């Protein structure tokens, strides 16, 4: 099954509350969520994946994205 919605399944997003989320999609379609905490990516709850759909969450791009840790 291929995702066909308006939001990419993978990417880096910032919530209205300031949380930075990195969401990645595996080859088998499984989603992984990581949260940026104190300069490091830590495992986040997969339930947080829905936050990227919120109208107040923005996708991180460009120079801001490049400034984040790998």
Whether 26 is in a domain gets the answer: yes
Whether 6 is in a domain gets the answer: no
Which is it for strands 40-43 and 11-14: parallel, antiparallel or unpaired? unpaired
CA-based nearest residue to 45, from 53, 36, 34: 34
Tell me the sheet residues that pair with 24: 32
6-53, pLDDT tens digit by residue? Answer: 567 789 999 999 999 999 998 898 999 999 999 999 999 999 999 998
Whether 15 is in a domain gets the answer: yes
Whether 34 is in a domain gets the answer: yes
Count of domains for the chain: 1
Whether 5 is in a domain gets the answer: no
Of residues 5 and 13, the one with the higher pLDDT is 13
Q: Which pLDDT band, with edges at 50, 70 and 90, does 3 fall under?
A: very low
pTM above 0.95, yes or no: no
């Amino acid at each position: 099954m291929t995702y066909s919605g308006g939001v990419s399944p993978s990417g880096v997003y910032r919530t209205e509350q300031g949380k930075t989320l990195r969401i990645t999609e595996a080859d088998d379609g499984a989603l992984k969520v990581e949260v940026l905490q104190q300069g490091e990516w830590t495992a986040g709850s997969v339930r947080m994946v829905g936050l990227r759909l919120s109208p107040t969450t923005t996708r991180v791009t460009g120079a801001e994205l490049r400034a984040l840790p790998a």
